[in-house]
Amino acid sequence: MLAQRNNLYPVFLKVRNLQVLIVGGGNVAHEKLMFLTKSSPDAQVEMIAPFFREGTLALAKEFNVKITEGSYEKSQLEKRHVVIATTDSPEVNKQVYEDARERYLLCNIADVPELCDFYMGGIVTKGNVKIAISTNGKSPTMAKRLRQFFEDVIPENIDDLVQNLNRYRKTLKGGFEEKVDQLNAFTKSIVEK
């Protein structure tokens, strides 16, 4: 039997430049909003649902998230880049996915991996260093445990090293390949055992 492989392509989106729609207002919607705003406090987000949890409304206010009370309609996908559906209705979630696909929008249907263009995995952030962890949608719990592990082992002052390397990089002379070679030689000891 062949081992399964994670074929996801990791990217880091500048969601402050994108319009994100979250369809739903319950616990899962709250979790997605919390995840998104923790990683990207300046994300451009609107939430649409017939009701919202008090905690979600407070979080939305803190991060300038637009709240719209009502039911999902296809027209709400206009001028969006990313859509996340978290309703407790499989029919509504599937409709959101189909409508998003028609418009070539990136879509995530919570807890339905086959209806996701992307997953919201575990993230570790220490200053300018950000590590994203994916289990290919198989085990969010494992992604959470790996996140906790990396939060513990990556030193708090890692950003100082990143800033110093950035300053050093600016002093290097030569073409791109020469600079890469110099930086590789300079940072090799960081990962040597």
Domain boundary assignment for the chain: 15-119, 121-154, 161-191
Alpha-carbon span 121 to 127, nearest angstrom: 19
CATH topology of domain 15-119: Rossmann fold (3.40.50)
By the 8 A CB rule, do 43 and 20 touch?
Answer: yes
Predicted pLDDT of residue 2: 62
- Dump pLDDT digits (tens) for 101-148: 999 999 999 989 899 999 888 889 898 899 999 888 788 789 889 999
Alpha-carbon span 26 to 17, nearest angstrom: 26
- pLDDT over threshold 70, residue 1: no
- pLDDT over threshold 90, residue 189: no
- What is the C-alpha radius of gyration for the chain, rounded to an integer number of angstroms? 20
pTM of the predicted model, to two decimals? 0.85
- Dump pLDDT digits (tens) for 43-58: 999 999 999 999 999 9
